[in-house]
Amino acid sequence: MSTDGITTQKVNFKVFRFNANDDYLPYYENYEMDVTSEEVVLDILNRIKWDHDGSFSYRRSCRHGICGACAIKVNGRSTLACKESMTTMIELFGNELTIEPLSIKRSVKDMIIDKGDFWQKHDAIHPFLISDVDENPEHEHIVTQDEAEALLDADICIQCGACHYACPVIEVNDNFMGPAAFAKAYRFEADVRDQAHKERLSELHSEKQGVWDCVKCYECAEVCPKEVNPIDKITKLHQMLFKEGVATSNVATRHAVGFKHSIAKNGVLDEGGLVLYSEGPAIVKHVPVALKMFKKGKIVPPWAITKSQNLDEIKKLVKSSSTVKF
């Protein structure tokens, strides 16, 4: 085999180490290696174990981007080790790379983490087709091409956890379901054969850990090694909640709907009015900050809001283009 075009460069790896059985605190080991342009991140994990320290631990299985076992973080970025080329990592971060597990606080041994929270949340959304199927059907359940395409890419998720442990909400709120669980929920919500459509949506709609607590940061879309684009699925779940009539009036739904009312009235947003519409009487908790903002000239009173020119056009379009009622 020709090796023409293969390049080599020196890389310093700072590698997270921790053994829950022996260590009180984690620490980092440094390994300097010559890395070829042909290697993927998993090759480096293998070389650390095989050439430097046999006790180094990590999960690996298929090496083909299918099993999802080898997801770790490189310089803070969730990465599926068997799929990510070292060339890309070096181009992105340079020659000083820090290798860490997906979640430091969940590390059991080096790169191996306890993914219990991930699987609990995955299971909680009922990740299977719920359908009252005749045990002896007369014919197959035909799904049209359009119906199949409605799943988008949600069915190619490999449960690697890259998005889950990249999600900033998961990091600060243990109860949040997380992008992977929502993407999986969408996979069944969008399946025409599923009969638990509204029940599953209702659970996702619940406050505290539900689909509305997403901060819309796009980290999940950025790190997904399979391009599932979980935030796209979260947005579609939001839309389903309204279209299917499952959405109930809460601060999140009123916040979304309030945009339409505000735009229909002013073209632009009435920011204070939107908060009032969303929060209702609970708006009082914002009063201290609002007063400070008012004193600093940071709040425009409702009567002083500059409306969009050609507002009639906007009103007409809101009326004729609205596709959802709430």
Partner 1 sequence: MEKLKYALFTGCTAKQSTPEQMKSTMAVADKLGIELVELTEASCCGASHLQDYDDFLSLVLNARNIAYAEKHGLTMVTICNTCQLNTAMTKHRLDNNEKLKAQVNEKLAEVGLEYKGTSEVTHFLYAIIDDFGLDKIKEMVKTPLRDFNIAPFYGCHNIRPSELQNETHKSAESAYRPTSLDDLIIACGGNNVDYAEKTKCCGFHAELQAPKTAATLTGNAIAGAMDNDSDWMVTPCPLCHLKLDTQTHHASEAIGREVALPVLHMQQMLGLALGCTPDELGLNHHLTKVDFV
293 binds partner 1 (CB under 8 A): yes
Residues 166-225 close enough to bind partner 1 by CB under 8 A = 168-169, 172-173, 176, 207, 212-219, 221-222
Nearest distance from C-beta of residue 218 to partner 1, angstroms: 4
* 235 near partner 1 (CB under 8 A): yes
Q: Which amino acid is at 14?
A: K
Only segment of 132-140, 154-162, 185-193, 265-273 that touches partner 1 (CB under 8 A): 265-273
| Chain position carrying tokens 């009082």 | 284
Return the residue of 130, 150, 196, 269 that touches partner 1, per CB under 8 A: 269
119 binds partner 1 per the rule CB under 8 A = no
Region at 277 (left for phi over 0; alpha for psi -120 to 50; beta for the rest): alpha
- Site pattern 48..87 for partner 1 (x: CB under 8 A): ---------------------------xxx----------
**CA 178 from centre of chain:** 6
- Residue 37: CB minimum distance to partner 1, A: 19
Residue 275 binds to partner 1 (criterion: CB under 8 A): yes
Least distance CB 119 / partner 1 (angstroms): 22
Count CA atoms closer than 13 A to 170's CA, side-chain side.
24
CA dihedral 253, 256, 257, 262 (to 10 degrees): 140
Three-state secondary-structure class, residue 74: strand
Contact 198, 237 (CB under 8 A): no
> Regarding beta strands 107-109 and 112-113, do their DSSP bridges make them parallel or antiparallel, or are they unpaired?
antiparallel
230 touches 220 (CB < 8 A): yes
Nearest-approach distance from CB 209 to partner 1, in angstroms: 9
C-alpha distances out from residue 149 to 156, 243, 257, Å: 12, 19, 28
Binding stretches for partner 1 (CB under 8 A)? 75-77, 92-93, 168-169, 172-173, 176, 207, 212-219, 221-222, 229, 235, 238-239, 242, 250-253, 255-257, 259-260, 262-263, 267-269, 271-272, 275, 278-279, 288-289, 292-293, 296-300, 305-306, 308-310, 313-314, 316-318, 320-324, 326
